[in-house]
Amino acid sequence: MIELAAGDLTLVLAPEIGGSIAAFRKSGIDIFRALTPDRAAAGDVLGVGSFPMLPYANRIDGNAFTFDGVTYRFKPNNGTERFNVHGTGWQSEWQVEEASKTSARLTLERRVAGEPFLYRATQHFALAPEGLTLTTSLENLGFVRMPFGFGHHPWFERDADTELRFKASHFWLEAPDGVAGSRIQLAPELDFSNGAPLPSHWRNNNYSGWDGLAELRFPTRGVTLTIEADPIFQNLMLYADPKQSFFCLEPQTNVPCAVNKFEAGEEGLGLVVLAPGEGMWGVVRFGVG
């Protein structure tokens, strides 16, 4: 584990567990859900505070897609789920390239024979008294051009008085097995632009046309988190199951199942086609008040 500190903020990183954030705290109060010692000992990436999603975010429908005339196939990678999800970065061991009291840079070079995506990824964490700046970059190490994307998957404890605020233009319906269905105009009952409590029913949907700003208020904890993302992050995924003690709000560049929808001719999916040697990058800032 690597621990950074600035002012009353602390950030704990777990490079070996998916290059993830194990804890993010203000004056000892958890902002992200914290990785417990037993889940850390088990190397359980599903117990962390946040992990990177790359070289794409969310699912691949049917575990296959076709691009430039080539069909690429994937294996399920998340327990009993049918479809591959979140790429390979979150299930890989990352390397610590540099670390100081307030910053760290983690890298992952993924060259596995038979995998469709070959890439180099970097996460740079910079902690300041006002918050965390996380810069992610991705480079295509393959021999052909490919559609790339990335995102971050923070987990939050579900307080009874939690409130969300963000603006988006569209909402993606959920199809079976967590697959993204149709894109619809954002209905008033799904809108968080004026602030609203967490949904009282199941929600596992992507909001696209996101303006890159989100606010999460935790009055019981006395904490407000502001997310400010670069324009490359056009999508915000909300997972909220009232039966669970946590929820997720995930800034990501691409729509879930974007590679499948791209194959079908849809546009505005947030994918970036990278030729060999080309790269992409983006910054997400987590401000704490």
**What 8-state DSSP symbol labels residue 58?**
S
* Residues 53-70 pLDDT 10s: 999 999 999 999 999 999
Please report the pLDDT score of residue 103 as a whole number: 98
Range of the domain at 209: 2-288
Cα–Cα dist 190/159, whole Å: 20
Helix (H) or strand (E) holding 285: strand 279-288
Residue 110 three-state SS: strand
Cα–Cα dist 256/250, whole Å: 11
Cα–Cα dist 35/150, whole Å: 22
pLDDT in 10s for each residue of the chain, 289 residues:
999 999 999 999 999 999 999 999 999 999 999 999 999 999 999 999 999 999 999 999 999 999 999 999 999 999 999 999 999 999 999 999 999 999 999 999 999 999 999 999 999 999 999 999 999 999 999 999 999 999 999 999 999 999 999 999 999 999 999 999 999 999 999 999 999 999 999 999 999 999 999 999 999 999 999 999 999 999 999 999 999 999 999 999 999 999 999 999 999 999 999 999 999 999 999 999 9
Cα–Cα dist 84/59, whole Å: 6
Please report the pLDDT score of residue 278 as a whole number: 98
* Residues 82-113 pLDDT 10s: 999 999 999 999 999 999 999 999 999 999 99
Q: In this structure, what CATH number is given to the domain that contains residue 248?
A: 2.70.98.10
**What 8-state DSSP symbol labels residue 54?**
B
Q: What is the DSSP string of 179-235?
A: -EEEEEEPPGGG--TT-EEPPSS-EEEEEES--SEEEEEETTTTEEEEEEE-TT--E
**What 8-state DSSP symbol labels residue 260?**
H
Residue 38 three-state SS: helix
Please report the pLDDT score of residue 99 as a whole number: 98
Q: How far apart are the first and last CA of the chain?
A: 25
**Total tally of structural domains belonging to the chain:** 1
The pTM of this model reads 0.97
Please report the pLDDT score of residue 133 as a whole number: 98
Q: Which of 37, 236, 48 is nearest to 155 (CA)?
A: 48
**What 8-state DSSP symbol labels residue 77?**
-
